[in-house]
Chain A
Amino acid sequence: MRIVFLIIFNLLLSSCDLSQLNNPYSEADPNLSILYSSFSERPKRLDPATSYSTSENSFLAQIYEPPYQYSYLKRPYQLEPLSAKKLPVINYFNAQDVLLSGNFSANKIAYSEYIIEIKQGIKFQLHPAFIEANRHLSSDQIEKLTQLNDFTEQGTRELIAEDYVYQIKRLADPKVQSPIAEFMKEYIVGFGEFSQEVKDKKKIEIKSTPLSGVTVLSRYKYKIRIKGKYPQFKFWLAMNFFAPMPWEANEFYQQKGLGDKNISLNWYPIGTGPFFLEENNPNQRIVLTKNPNYHETFYPSEGEQVDKEKGLLKDAGRKLPFIDKVIYILEKETIPYWSKFLQGFYDASGISSDSFDQAVQFSASGNAQLTETMQDQGIRLQTSISTSIFYMGFNMLDPVIGGDSEHARKLRLAISIALDYEEYISIFMNGRGIPAQGVLPPEIFGNLEKKEGMNQYVYNWKNNNYQRKSIEKAEQLMTEAGYKSGVDPKTGEALVLYFDTTSVGAGARAMMNWYRKQFEKIGIKLVIRPTDYNRFQDKIRDGSGQIFTWGWNADYPDPENFFFLLYGPNGKVKFKGENAVNYQNSKFDQLFEQMRSMDDTEQRSQIIQQMQEIIRHDVPWVFGYHPKRFALYHQWFENIKPSFMAHKELKYLRIDATSREQKREQWNQAVFWPLIAALVLFILVLIPAINAFKKRSRKTVQ
């Protein structure tokens, strides 16, 4: 009970003003505009050559700048120069290495060359690596170091084409272990040979070793030569993998002993971006600070129609970035994050399905809007459909559910009708998502809206909307498939199917029950096999799984990036590719190869429709849903437009720190009376005790 005192005592200690006792931050500098965000898992590597996870990307994208980026406001996504002067000049050559000109058929093309010219005068962020001396430290100098900030001397230099080439060489270097190395080998000329060559060389030696396909043309110009025609390559050029990397970095970081001090490229990047990594403490917080050397870039002046009334063009033409500092705090749990957001200590937040009803309601017309309480707090809602798909995959190698046989197909189809994803979305995602009609999410070229885009095998078009086919239809399909009312003729029992999942924890049980119920509708007994991620992957690899759910996040906004998940030669089991269901259909594959190398033309769209049709017919997937992202923003948070490609938005955002300060004050008034009450209660309890003591000491025998 002394605790009560303790609390009060500490409160007095912890802060002189009792207004924001619960303010988790110690930085109190109102005239700096600091953005507060969070990260849930420590980023493992912040090296643009190796990092391939969205969580790491949210940092990298601010620090490194590849030649191109996606326009912040325009939709559908389109490329625009970032550190490059203009979009790449692409020349095509035939097998004899002759430049093709005029109009020629695609199959002639043997090589294509991308010539990229970069802006002049771009400078790297300040970094000790640019000081000659720092690259040749003595061992005892290194001993003294504890962190990167210990270096007093920091330097910079201008960005040159060489740096881009150097990075591509790093991609090829086996010691770097770039996840896309294997992939790029197929395309960039001389890539494979190069990696063979430098296999046993030291890291720094790649500088002097030439990579035939990638060459510097001038100080500000370089060229990449790739095999055949591969239009998607330009998208790769907008990914961090192709961001410039100064050779000094390697020479600096490879010094012995720095690694033990956690001073490595993985933890302290060297970029040209709008922000640089000031503090990297993955156990607690990561701080990005405005890069003083950042080159001139300005807020875009045109965007979508709606952007104007949304006020997204207010800052048009102003110099970027607006924010001085971004503080990411380690926040594992969703609950505290949400509460802190409501208290105004985070500026933006997603909505966990548990806090959804509190935040959002659907108007009679069915579109989402904020609840009164949220509106009173001046919070704003942004919704957008992400360029990703969550699907249920059937392992096509499985004897029961897989294969091209008609009854297996019917079975799959029956399931995909029975699985009521509309309900799933409304229960588990609070309607944040749209049921997928095919492989492609909206805003990706080739995806059709409304009736044209409907999956007619599963849906009907009724009063101007999709409507899932009736369960009777599914049952009928089951019968045709040979499982009358779900009974497996072999066993005489209900057909048993196995569902592998990695989801554990609180929400999982409900979800599993839901799946079971869905399959029960058509009399199938679903056995759920929860496993950890490794086992799951093993199953997928050796094709022993039967049913599983998985998702795919687009790397770049091109249909190819989705369809290749079903491309036969990408089969997981056979070719260790990304085709997890091991779907194999020659017609489809042939169409895919054709579509892949085309530009976005009407013809391409038609081919895509054919491919969609094939998939819908063969049902290797149950097209689950495309999640809809709901994001909440406080009133002081400006210029938000959700984007799912290369998250470079940070530099566009603006924060009104002063109004934030006021709101926090107003929202976080501590409540004291319960403590007082507890104290009083405690004393009341004590009184009789004291009496009892007095009484006893007065006791006599008679």
Chain B
Amino acid sequence: MHLTLDEQIRENNVDNKLLEVKGLTVAFKKDKVVDDISFDIFAGETFALVGESGSGKSITALSVLRLLPNNAKVSANQILLNNESLLSIPEYDFCKIRGKRIGLIFQDPMSSLNPVMTIGEQIAEVMKIHFDYSKEELTPAVHKLLEQVEIPEPQRRINEFPHQLSGGQRQRIMIAIALAGKPELLIADEPTTALDVTIQAQILELLKTIQKKTGMSLWLISHDLALVSTMADRIAVMQKGKVVEIGSTNHFFKQAKHPYSLKLLAALPSMDSCTNKELKKIDNNETPLLKVESFKVYYPIRKGFFKRIVDHVRAVDDVSFELKQGSTLALVGESGCGKTTLGKGLVNLIPTTAGRVLLNGIELNQLNGDELRQKRSVIQIVFQDPFASMNPRMLVGDIIAEGIKALHSDINLVDRQQRVANLLKQVELPESSALRYPHEFSGGQRQRICIARALAVEPKLIVCDEPTSALDVSVQAQIIELLQKLQKEQGVSYLFITHNLAVVAEIADEVAVMHKGKIVEHGHVEQVLTQPQHPYTQSLLDAVPVLAD
């Protein structure tokens, strides 16, 4: 019986356990969010805690640092930091642990930074608390730190406020703050989730390098296996507050035992899925369903005394493309590149500045008033956030029926109910859901309802605006399957807006890469993903974390 890899690792550095957690339990009121978990983090290693949202991984980290709200009940057999028990440290001493010995990075850098303090102050603060810097020493120190986290022109930034920085830079600031106390352990709670792919890569890179330099341990918390695979030495998988599997990375990807781990692995979308996909039969001479010509959405910038329009924000700038009946066009791009605007523009939710949109023969954006209302059934939209996209005060049945009521007023109640029932069946929900309220459903189910709602009016084209990005990996896959199935059955076309290239590979026939309001590359999936032409596309592709093997 030979030792597994991770057992070997344990053997090797028994003595240099940095953090030792035994039987940690966190409970809010009655229900346990973290249930008696134990794990160790060794000096200098990167330890990843993986799990889907609500699995209690962040709570674990916070509980170690006693950052949970008072209504949380924390209990543990022991938590040792360098063999010193954290549990027995009184509150007033504990602030010597936080920031000094354990640093913490949060998911959303925008909200995690104090909006009314300059970043200089915010970093300096940490130093003031933990080391006795003199005034003149302080600024250079901050300066150094900023350089360390690769902030361009730090001398200027030092006096700026968070909102003046880009998302990536903010996250760097967060890191700087965390590093300011020269911690032994750095906890990174979903450090990149809120960022674009390309930025993600840079941040991770930064973390790596810093860790190398300082030799501190990194405790990475994430839901993204792919990302983890590139970073971590060891992985622990959490599910419903329990650690179900723990082991070295390679070992984990090679021979994960626990079914949940396996499920996670299976759900991982992979880029090569597009290559081994059979091409849809679409004869090219058929007139396209959607024909967009030099489509523009500008937002005016008003200045001066009478708010004259001096310039425009070119959200969507002269975009043209076609989409064939029954096919899927993926619109890829980073946040703020105008893809969502384009989507909404097509659905006529926001006024278009210029351009023709020919949707099976009709120019929607030329119509208005009641005419427009009637024709709306042709094109529908599914939003990103399944929680915000349904009126919490309406029954699911009514939500789905709403469109029918509005556009096919001829249909009587009985038929309508029948129709709703069918739709629910199509999206694989029990008929009984019609009489329940949105908040009773999980994210995935809600997204299904949204799809049903869209389908209700028998559209030719559905704009899917990041339909999966708010969902957990395992659920993502299901939704995508559903969409594909529906396409097969009903021949709807999708305009699939996403930033996740892996998903694109799964679902799209064609891909259009959008950058700064323009389409920079457009073509068949395989070709775009395998031999990208445009440098931007390439950078996108490079940034995608792929399973390290």
Are A702 and B92 within 8 A (Cβ)? no
Are A696 and B91 within 8 A (Cβ)? yes
Are B91 and A702 within 8 A (Cβ)? no
Whole-angstrom distance between the alpha carbons of A702 and B75 in the complex?
Answer: 8
Chain B minimum-CB-distance residue to A702: B87
Q: Does A16 contact B (CB under 8 A)?
A: no
Report B64-106 CB contacts with A as 1/0, cut-off 8 Å.
Answer: 0010000000111000000000111111100000000000000
Whole-angstrom distance between the alpha carbons of A696 and B76 in the complex?
Answer: 20
Chain B residues with CB below 8 A from A698, complex form: 90-92
Are B88 and A700 within 8 A (Cβ)? yes
Q: Does A692 contact B (CB under 8 A)?
A: no
Report A679-698 CB contacts with B as 1/0, cut-off 8 Å.
Answer: 00000000000000000111
Are B75 and A701 within 8 A (Cβ)? yes
Chain A residues with CB below 8 A from B87, complex form: 700-702
Are A701 and B92 within 8 A (Cβ)? no
Whole-angstrom distance between the alpha carbons of A701 and B64 in the complex?
Answer: 10
Chain B minimum-CB-distance residue to A701: B87
Whole-angstrom distance between the alpha carbons of A701 and B77 in the complex?
Answer: 11
Chain B residues with CB below 8 A from A701, complex form: 66, 74-76, 86-88
Chain A minimum-CB-distance residue to B92: A697
Q: Does A587 contact B (CB under 8 A)?
A: no
Whole-angstrom distance between the alpha carbons of A701 and B24 in the complex?
Answer: 11
Instruction: Name the residue in A699, A700, A701 with the highest tally of chain B Cβ atoms < 10 Å from its Cβ.
Output: A701
Chain B residues with CB below 8 A from A702, complex form: 75, 87-88
Chain B minimum-CB-distance residue to A694: B92
Minimum Cβ distance to chain A for residue B77 (Å): 10
Report B189-220 CB contacts with A as 1/0, cut-off 8 Å.
Answer: 00000000000000000000000000000000
Minimum Cβ distance to chain A for residue B30 (Å): 20
Whole-angstrom distance between the alpha carbons of A190 and B445 in the complex?
Answer: 105
Chain A residues with CB below 8 A from B66, complex form: 701
Minimum Cβ distance to chain B for residue A129 (Å): 54
Instruction: Name the residue in B75, B87, B90 with the highest tally of chain A Cβ atoms < 10 Å from its Cβ.
Output: B90
Minimum Cβ distance to chain B for residue A556 (Å): 71
Whole-angstrom distance between the alpha carbons of A696 and B70 in the complex?
Answer: 11
Whole-angstrom distance between the alpha carbons of A696 and B88 in the complex?
Answer: 14
Chain B residues with CB below 8 A from A699, complex form: 90-91
Chain A residues with CB below 8 A from B92, complex form: 697-698
Minimum Cβ distance to chain B for residue A472 (Å): 73
Instruction: Name the residue in B74, B86, B87, B91 with the highest tally of chain A Cβ atoms < 10 Å from its Cβ.
Output: B91
Chain B residues with CB below 8 A from A697, complex form: 90-92
Interface residues of B in 36-80 (CB under 8 A from A): 66, 74-76
Whole-angstrom distance between the alpha carbons of A701 and B21 in the complex?
Answer: 14
Chain B minimum-CB-distance residue to A698: B90
Whole-angstrom distance between the alpha carbons of A698 and B74 in the complex?
Answer: 16
Whole-angstrom distance between the alpha carbons of A702 and B241 in the complex?
Answer: 21
Interface residues of A in 644-702 (CB under 8 A from B): 696-702
Chain A residues with CB below 8 A from B89, complex form: 700
Minimum Cβ distance to chain B for residue A698 (Å): 5
Minimum Cβ distance to chain B for residue A690 (Å): 14
Whole-angstrom distance between the alpha carbons of A698 and B88 in the complex?
Answer: 10
Instruction: Name the residue in A697, A699, A700 with the highest tally of chain B Cβ atoms < 10 Å from its Cβ.
Output: A700
Chain B minimum-CB-distance residue to A696: B91
Whole-angstrom distance between the alpha carbons of A700 and B92 in the complex?
Answer: 10
Whole-angstrom distance between the alpha carbons of A700 and B66 in the complex?
Answer: 10
Minimum Cβ distance to chain B for residue A693 (Å): 10
Minimum Cβ distance to chain A for residue B460 (Å): 60
Chain A residues with CB below 8 A from B76, complex form: 701
Whole-angstrom distance between the alpha carbons of A284 and B91 in the complex?
Answer: 60
Whole-angstrom distance between the alpha carbons of A697 and B91 in the complex?
Answer: 5
Minimum Cβ distance to chain A for residue B14 (Å): 25
Whole-angstrom distance between the alpha carbons of A698 and B91 in the complex?
Answer: 6
Whole-angstrom distance between the alpha carbons of A697 and B89 in the complex?
Answer: 10
Chain A residues with CB below 8 A from B88, complex form: 700-702
Chain B minimum-CB-distance residue to A695: B91
Chain B residues with CB below 8 A from A696, complex form: 91
Whole-angstrom distance between the alpha carbons of A700 and B74 in the complex?
Answer: 11
Chain A minimum-CB-distance residue to B76: A701
Chain A residues with CB below 8 A from B75, complex form: 701-702
Whole-angstrom distance between the alpha carbons of A697 and B90 in the complex?
Answer: 7
Whole-angstrom distance between the alpha carbons of A697 and B74 in the complex?
Answer: 17
Chain A residues with CB below 8 A from B91, complex form: 696-700
Minimum Cβ distance to chain B for residue A661 (Å): 59
Whole-angstrom distance between the alpha carbons of A702 and B76 in the complex?
Answer: 8
Whole-angstrom distance between the alpha carbons of A698 and B92 in the complex?
Answer: 7
Minimum Cβ distance to chain A for residue B473 (Å): 34
Whole-angstrom distance between the alpha carbons of A697 and B96 in the complex?
Answer: 13
Whole-angstrom distance between the alpha carbons of A178 and B126 in the complex?
Answer: 82
Whole-angstrom distance between the alpha carbons of A696 and B66 in the complex?
Answer: 13
Interface residues of B in 507-535 (CB under 8 A from A): none
Minimum Cβ distance to chain A for residue B300 (Å): 51
Chain A residues with CB below 8 A from B86, complex form: 701
Report A153-171 CB contacts with B as 1/0, cut-off 8 Å.
Answer: 0000000000000000000
Chain B residues with CB below 8 A from A700, complex form: 87-91
Chain A minimum-CB-distance residue to B85: A702
Chain A residues with CB below 8 A from B74, complex form: 701
Whole-angstrom distance between the alpha carbons of A626 and B85 in the complex?
Answer: 95
Whole-angstrom distance between the alpha carbons of A538 and B47 in the complex?
Answer: 93
Chain A minimum-CB-distance residue to B77: A702
Whole-angstrom distance between the alpha carbons of A699 and B89 in the complex?
Answer: 8
Minimum Cβ distance to chain B for residue A694 (Å): 9
Whole-angstrom distance between the alpha carbons of A699 and B95 in the complex?
Answer: 13
Minimum Cβ distance to chain B for residue A467 (Å): 78
Whole-angstrom distance between the alpha carbons of A266 and B354 in the complex?
Answer: 74
Whole-angstrom distance between the alpha carbons of A128 and B429 in the complex?
Answer: 100
Minimum Cβ distance to chain B for residue A547 (Å): 61
Minimum Cβ distance to chain B for residue A701 (Å): 4
Whole-angstrom distance between the alpha carbons of A698 and B76 in the complex?
Answer: 19
Minimum Cβ distance to chain B for residue A699 (Å): 5
Minimum Cβ distance to chain B for residue A700 (Å): 5
Minimum Cβ distance to chain B for residue A610 (Å): 86
Chain A minimum-CB-distance residue to B95: A697
Whole-angstrom distance between the alpha carbons of A699 and B90 in the complex?
Answer: 5
Chain B minimum-CB-distance residue to A697: B92
Minimum Cβ distance to chain B for residue A287 (Å): 54
Whole-angstrom distance between the alpha carbons of A696 and B86 in the complex?
Answer: 17
Minimum Cβ distance to chain B for residue A118 (Å): 73
Chain A minimum-CB-distance residue to B66: A701
Instruction: Name the residue in A698, A699, A702 with the highest tally of chain B Cβ atoms < 10 Å from its Cβ.
Output: A702
Minimum Cβ distance to chain A for residue B90 (Å): 5
Whole-angstrom distance between the alpha carbons of A696 and B91 in the complex?
Answer: 7
Whole-angstrom distance between the alpha carbons of A701 and B66 in the complex?
Answer: 9
Whole-angstrom distance between the alpha carbons of A387 and B124 in the complex?
Answer: 86
Whole-angstrom distance between the alpha carbons of A697 and B76 in the complex?
Answer: 20
Whole-angstrom distance between the alpha carbons of A412 and B180 in the complex?
Answer: 98
Minimum Cβ distance to chain A for residue B494 (Å): 52
Whole-angstrom distance between the alpha carbons of A696 and B92 in the complex?
Answer: 9
Minimum Cβ distance to chain A for residue B80 (Å): 13
Instruction: Name the residue in B76, B89, B92 with the highest tally of chain A Cβ atoms < 10 Å from its Cβ.
Output: B92
Whole-angstrom distance between the alpha carbons of A376 and B92 in the complex?
Answer: 66
Minimum Cβ distance to chain B for residue A659 (Å): 65
Minimum Cβ distance to chain A for residue B451 (Å): 47
Whole-angstrom distance between the alpha carbons of A696 and B94 in the complex?
Answer: 12
Whole-angstrom distance between the alpha carbons of A180 and B91 in the complex?
Answer: 88
Whole-angstrom distance between the alpha carbons of A696 and B75 in the complex?
Answer: 17
Chain B minimum-CB-distance residue to A699: B91
Minimum Cβ distance to chain A for residue B91 (Å): 5
Supplied contacts A700-B87, A701-B74, 7 more A-B pairs, CB within 8 Å: A697-B91, A698-B90, A699-B91, A700-B88, A701-B75, A701-B87, A701-B88
9 A-B pairs with CB atoms under 8 Å apart are A697-B91, A697-B92, A698-B90, A698-B91, A700-B89, A701-B76, A701-B87, A701-B88, A702-B75
- A residues near B (Cβ < 8 Å) are 696-702
The 8 closest A-B pairs by CB, nearest first: A697-B92, A701-B87, A702-B87, A697-B91, A699-B91, A698-B90, A700-B90, A700-B88
- B residues near A (Cβ < 8 Å) are 66, 74-76, 86-92
